[in-house]
Amino acid sequence: MDTQQARQLLRKYNADECTEAEKALVENSLLKYNEHDIDLSQERIDQIKNELFTKLPIHKKERVKLYTWASAAAAVVIVVLAIAHWRLEDNFKVFEQAKVVEDFAPGSNRATLTLANGREIALNGDKNGLRVGSERINYLDGSSVIADQIKSTMQTLTTPNAGQYHLILEDGTKVWLNAASCISYPSSFDNVGSRQVAITGEVYFEVAPNRSKPFLVKSKNQTVKVLGTHFNVNDYGDGGKTVTTLLEGKVSVSAGTGLKYQRSLAPGQQAVSGVDGIAVGVADTELALAWKKGKLEFKDADIKDIMKQVARWYDLEVEYNGEISHRVFSGSVSRTSNLSVLLKILTYSDIKFTLEINGTKRKLIVSP
């Protein structure tokens, strides 16, 4: 791929004519590790030149110097473009040469609803979500999930690997489940002092305000108490921790043995809790909510951290063969992309991937 082809690819990107794979390649520069993004916009190029001019002692009478510094600035811009094109050319060679024998489709709307009597209902993946009523369960378009009336009982919504689903509870609280997640809830919050649900996996909430009935989200090692707010709970248990990220409102997080640790969060904060306590810090809300916005996003993540998301979203087992690089990566791809798009990008790290299918068992082998 020469400079002209690189420019052509960039023009295709600006015209929104790239394929999904080409778009991921340009936007991420192959999930570059420990490196800053290269911005090729005209605005950024002009900014580089202006920064040079404002920092240098240029006088009107010194026209020769002005020309010299202008040439230097132009040279810097050319170097920036050259570096970008070199990286794009080098990366595109890897992209073109990578071969994936098999490919896996991404996840989709998939979930199972379990009623109190043990009855399991496979939900329609073409529907946008589920609405819970005190006597009826409907899809968001109004069609019935089951024709029978139901009593006020507990229900459980479960997403498998490669699944996600949206739910509106009886009180109007909106819930989104990521892959391999679960929420248990009552069909009605009438005649109770608090609205309680239990989760595993990763769930995002937009809680309907009700000051007289606090909303409690219980997971394995913590409880989140709110009145009305937007927040995300990641309880996959990676590293033995539960991560709670607050977008709006205020929440109280309790964790540890007997829930003896308690911290309050303000918008933009994140609590990482375990049996040994709760640590509160500034949240990367874009990263925490990337899954809900339809992205697989990584920031300073190593291959094993990335593969945890890959395994859940593409429903496969990951096996490591040999010593894997500890390089870290930053970037994102659409959750609607096939697995091959991400793997072709990650091959830039000199890591090899082999896909195997044995009946219903799907395996991704990672090797140096």
Per-residue pLDDT of the chain (368 residues; tens, 9 = 90+): 455 666 676 667 666 777 766 666 565 543 443 334 444 455 654 554 455 444 443 333 333 333 344 444 444 444 444 444 444 444 444 444 444 445 788 999 999 999 988 999 999 999 989 999 877 889 999 999 987 767 668 999 999 999 999 999 999 999 999 999 999 999 999 888 999 999 999 999 999 999 899 999 999 889 999 988 999 999 998 778 999 999 999 999 999 888 889 999 999 999 999 888 999 999 999 999 999 999 999 898 889 999 999 999 999 999 999 888 788 888 888 999 999 888 887 876 678 899 888 888 899 999 98
155 and 302 in a single domain? The answer is: no
In a domain, 212, yes or no: yes
- Look up the pTM and report it: 0.74
Rounded distance between C-alpha atoms, residue 244 and residue 218, angstroms: 12
Q: Distances from the Cα of 246 to the Cαs of 226, 281, 286, 292, 347, in angstroms?
A: 11, 11, 12, 14, 35
Rounded distance between C-alpha atoms, residue 271 and residue 273, angstroms: 6
Contact in structure between 270 and 281 (CB atoms under 8 Å) = yes
128 and 276 in a single domain? The answer is: yes
276 and 332 in a single domain? The answer is: no
256 and 149 in a single domain? The answer is: yes
| DSSP notation for 271-338 | EEEETTEEEEEE--HHHHTTTTTTEEEEEEEEHHHHHHHHHHHHT-EEEE-SPPP--EEEEEEETTS-
The separation between the first and the last C-alpha atoms of the chain, rounded to the nearest angstrom, is 26
What's the pLDDT at 282?
Answer: 97
9 and 76 in a single domain? The answer is: yes
In a domain, 204, yes or no: yes
Domain residues for the domain of 118 are 108-288
312 and 236 in a single domain? The answer is: no
- 334 forms bridges with which residues in the sheet? 295
In a domain, 342, yes or no: yes
In a domain, 143, yes or no: yes
- 362 forms bridges with which residues in the sheet? 357
List CB contacts of 277: < 8 A, sequence separation 6 or more: 255, 256, 261
Host H or E run for residue 117:
none
In a domain, 262, yes or no: yes
74 and 32 in a single domain? The answer is: yes
Amino acid at 55: K
In a domain, 102, yes or no: no
Task: Name the DSSP letter for residue 144.
Answer: B
Rounded distance between C-alpha atoms, residue 185 and residue 168, angstroms: 11
125 and 227 in a single domain? The answer is: yes
What's the pLDDT at 104?
Answer: 83
69 and 114 in a single domain? The answer is: no
In a domain, 103, yes or no: no
**Sequence-ordered alpha helix ranges (H) in the chain:** 3-14, 20-28, 42-55, 63-97, 285-288, 303-314, 339-346
Q: How many CA atoms lie within 13 A of 179 on its CB side?
A: 20
238 and 302 in a single domain? The answer is: no
What's the pLDDT at 65?
Answer: 39
Rounded distance between C-alpha atoms, residue 204 and residue 21, angstroms: 29
Contact in structure between 292 and 232 (CB atoms under 8 Å) = yes
Backbone angles phi, psi at 155, to 5 degrees: -130, 155
In a domain, 356, yes or no: yes
Closest CA to 200 of 254, 251, 238, 257: 238
117 and 174 in a single domain? The answer is: yes
The enclosing domain of 345 has a CATH number of 3.55.50.30
Q: 269, 288, 307: which is the final residue of a domain?
A: 288
The enclosing domain of 261 has a CATH number of 2.60.120.1440
Task: Count the domains in the chain.
Answer: 3
Rounded distance between C-alpha atoms, residue 312 and residue 160, angstroms: 8
122 and 266 in a single domain? The answer is: yes
